[in-house]
Structure formats: C-alpha cells, structure tokens
Chains A and B, each alone.
Chain A
Amino acid sequence: EAGVTQSPRYAVLQEGQAVSFWCDPISGHDTLYWYQQPRDQGPQLLVYFRDEAVIDNSQLPSDRFSAVRPKGTNSTLKIQSAKQGDTATYLCASSLRGRGEQYFGPGTRLTVL
C-alpha cells in the first residue's frame, strides 16, 4: 500500500512570493490533515478535511493561507504571500473516519528568505 505522498519536498522563496504544496493521501482515507512543524517543535494542525468538506480551519492564517480538497482525494495548501515566519516543514496526514491513527507524509520543507 502506498503511503502519503507530498510534493515538492523542498521549497525556497523570497518574502512575498506564493507557493503551493500538494498531498496525495492513502487511497480510501476520507480524512486529510495539514500540519505546520517549525524547527524543533511538534506538528501544529492548520486545517483538516473529511472528504471535500473543511471540518476545522481555525488555526489557518486565512489572510494568506488556503487549502482545498475538491474531490475528496488530493489536497493543495497554498501560501499567498510568504513571510519568514512561515519557514517550517508542512506535513500532510490522512486517516480513516473513526480510526485515530494518522499516517504522515514526508513533508515539504519551506524556507522563506
């Protein structure tokens, strides 16, 4: 069974530039999560979906961050105008409804100069 895949693996931007991260969850997993993991810290939930619906985006900086999952499968997280404080690894995870285990992808390491 293929795991969660993410691309790109690395991104380096100047402040003010935009970037998109893509996630392909495990086939059949209806729940998808995006986390931000600053260096030397634990993952912090940004947003999560059940199928195509946003369940909780309360931690998503809505003025610059957006996330979609239009068909309930793949998902894209976009930062419209990156800031140095956005430097972190962005992790995608998926799970089955009613099952607590989340399966994580390898992450995208973002550096904003």
Chain B
Amino acid sequence: SQWGEENLQALSIQEGEDVTMNCSYKTYTTVVQWYRQKSGKGPALIILIRSNEREKRSGRLRATLDTSSQSSSLSITGTLATDTAVYFCAARNMGYKLTFGTGTSLLVDP
C-alpha cells in the first residue's frame, strides 16, 4: 500500500487483467481522491469517494473506502495498455488540502 515513508510501488501486468491498488491514510478525511499521472503530465482525478460511501464505480474503475481502518482501494477491470501510469490516492481535509500517498506505478503490457 502507499503512504508514509514507503517508496513508489511497481506493478506489471498483461492487458486484460484486473488489478487492485491499496492505500492507507493517516490524516482525518471525509473524501479520498484517486489520481492518475501519465509520464510527463500532471495528475488527473479519476475517481472520488466520500466517507458515507463504501464503494464507488466509474466505468472500469471501482474505489472502496473503509474509514474504520483508514484505507482505500482502487480496482481497474480489463486493463488496457493506456492504463499505464502512476496512481496516487489523496486524502482531502476540510480545507480542501490534499495529502498524497507515494503512488503505485502500473505497467500494462499490450
């Protein structure tokens, strides 16, 4: 999982496989956002889940949030080569500040 002092995690899978990335957070939050960052680009929001939601779906993406364990996960089904990127979770506080995790580097081989 990503957070704290951990280094960037790396995953390598084949196109078509499903993948799940985990994240644990330490600060109080009511919203966890997942961002995707492709090489040479800034991060882009792909899915957002609130504390009153246990699960959120958007196309091939599925996010879960467990506030009791302060953890979140992102699953991608039927991965494509274009899903190759670094994925970050970010905990948002009441002032809209984001605290990002260390990220998961996903490589999807075509």
Instruction: Enumerate chain A interface residues (CB-CB to B < 8 A).
Output: 4, 31, 40-45, 48, 55-56, 91, 93, 95, 100-107
Contact = CB atoms under 8 A, between A and B. Distances in A.
Interface of B: 2, 7-8, 31, 33, 40-45, 48, 88, 90, 92, 95-103
Contacts of A103: 44
Given A42-B88, A100-B33, A105 B100 contact: no
B40 A100 contact: no
A106 B40 contact: yes
A107 B97 contact: no
Nearest to A41: B102
Contact of B8 (A41, A48, A104): A41
A42 B48 contact: no
A100 B42 contact: no
Nearest to A109: B40
Contacts of B95: 55-56
B41 A106 contact: yes
Contacts of A104: 42-44
Contact of B96 (A4, A41, A42, A100): A100
Given A106-B41, A106-B42, A45 B98 contact: yes
Contact of B100 (A44, A48, A100, A107): A44
A100 B103 contact: no
